Amino acid sequence: MANTIKSKVYNLLERSSAGNRLAQQIDAVLIVFIVVNVGLAVLETEPSIGDVFSREIFLLDFVVGSVFAVEYLLRLWVSDLHPPLKKYGSLKARLVYALQPLTLIDFLAVMPFWLSLFFAGISWKSLVILRLLRFLKIARYSPAVRSLISAVVEEKKAIIGSLVLIFGVALVAATLLYSIEHAAQPEYFGTIPAALWWAFSTLTTVGYGDVVPVTALGKFVASIVMLMGYCLFALPVGIVGTAFAREIHSREFVVTWGMVATVPLFERLSAVEIAAVTELLHSHSVPAGQYICEKGEDGDSLYLIASGQVEEVFERHRVVHNEGEHFGEASLFGHSKRTASAIARTPAQLMVLKMEDLRRFMDRKPAVAKKIIAEAIDERKAHHVDVEFTP
């Protein structure tokens, strides 16, 4: 029983929450706790709020800290179930897991709770910096944040190179202004390190105005530096933006590929062939309560559920499909009319494969068509229907 409970906790906390409604709800609650806790830590510094509601803020923060502490200990408990860590013993697996970046962030999130619990002399308000670090836990529950981090890590060499270039330009600009302005403004440009403040504020186009050149040549150099700033700082932004878009696209492709691979009709296809099928899919958003298709309509599409819930209503029963599942494949096995209506129970994002697109694809790929038809024949035997499409 202990192993069963441990396995369930591992599935809820450590495996992807996609398709697991309870895990998604737990993630949502923890995100709310993080946002509320960070917001209270910020508002607490306002005397009109922090002094009046100090007890309520402390109690709520204590509850949140308790939840984070339990979550952290549970993650350590199940960490030896991670496939890469199974080769270690239980103790070493937990140690290796505890030193991973996301786990270190979890530790920082619970540190204020433990410090206040075991060290009564520490002021709760003095821990505001550590409490604000709990915002970093968002990275564990947000695929978008993880994708951004992955993009930065992937392009770290290019980003470091662009930052070195920016610093080099700033150093050259500071040296030039030191040479031109140090006699006129020794208090601001008397040394190169002092001139660096002006160089960075100018390159970033912030321009505080506390330090400005007064000579004609100095103003000319400053104008060039301002223009260069626009170009230089666009470089790392462009690198990160491109890498982020590529990372998001890769994640979406992997998810879509996985959904296509589960469709019986494509089970015999290779990974490359399944990837080619995914290019035929069209995205379709459906609000909650709207019909996707109705009984008696021509069956000409297969639907893959990227997000949301869809309910199929048959004559005598209903079937609920969740994220990652598919429906409507019977129409591709030879049914000319749909035998059920499909309704979006929640706002749903669907990937749609049209029969006419599949036909054209099979015309271009005879080898793939042979595999699909062979699988369709097996499905025909299972469903007792005729296969109508041929390349």
More confident residue, 54 or 344: 344
Look at residue 38 and tell me whether its pLDDT is greater than 80: yes
Query: So what's the pLDDT on residue 330?
Result: 64
Percent over 70 (pLDDT), the chain: 86
More confident residue, 54 or 201: 201
> In the structure, what pLDDT confidence band is assigned to residue 343 with cuts at 50, 70 and 90?
very high
Residues of the chain with CATH 1.10.287.70: 156-249
Residues of the chain with CATH 2.60.120.10: 263-383
More confident residue, 214 or 375: 214
More confident residue, 101 or 344: 344
Stated pTM of the model: 0.54
Query: So what's the pLDDT on residue 18?
Result: 54
Residues of the chain with CATH 1.20.120.350: 2-141
> In the structure, what pLDDT confidence band is assigned to residue 147 with cuts at 50, 70 and 90?
confident
Of the listed ranges 26-30, 46-50, 125-129, 202-206, the least confidently predicted one is 125-129
> In the structure, what pLDDT confidence band is assigned to residue 168 with cuts at 50, 70 and 90?
very high
What is the CATH superfamily name and number for domain 2-141?
Answer: Voltage-gated potassium channels. Chain C (1.20.120.350)
> In the structure, what pLDDT confidence band is assigned to residue 389 with cuts at 50, 70 and 90?
very low
Look at residue 379 and tell me whether its pLDDT is greater than 60: no
Query: So what's the pLDDT on residue 171?
Result: 94
| Residue 97 CB-density burial (10 A; 0-12 exposed, 13-18 middle, 19+ buried) | buried
Look at residue 295 and tell me whether its pLDDT is greater than 50: yes
Query: So what's the pLDDT on residue 279?
Result: 82
CA angle 210, 216, 220 (to 5 degrees): 80
Among candidate residues 67, 4, 84, 85, the one with its CA nearest the CA of residue 31? 67
For the domain bounded by 263-383, which CATH number is listed?
A: 2.60.120.10
Residue burial 192-209, b: 16+ Cβ < 10 Å; e: rest: bebbbbbbbbbbeeeeee
Query: So what's the pLDDT on residue 135?
Result: 78
249 Cβ partners below 8 Å, 6+ apart? Answer: none
Q: What is the pLDDT of residues 103-122, one digit of tens each?
A: 888 888 888 777 777 776 66
Query: So what's the pLDDT on residue 164?
Result: 93
Q: Say if domain 156-249 classifies as CATH 3.20.20.150.
A: no
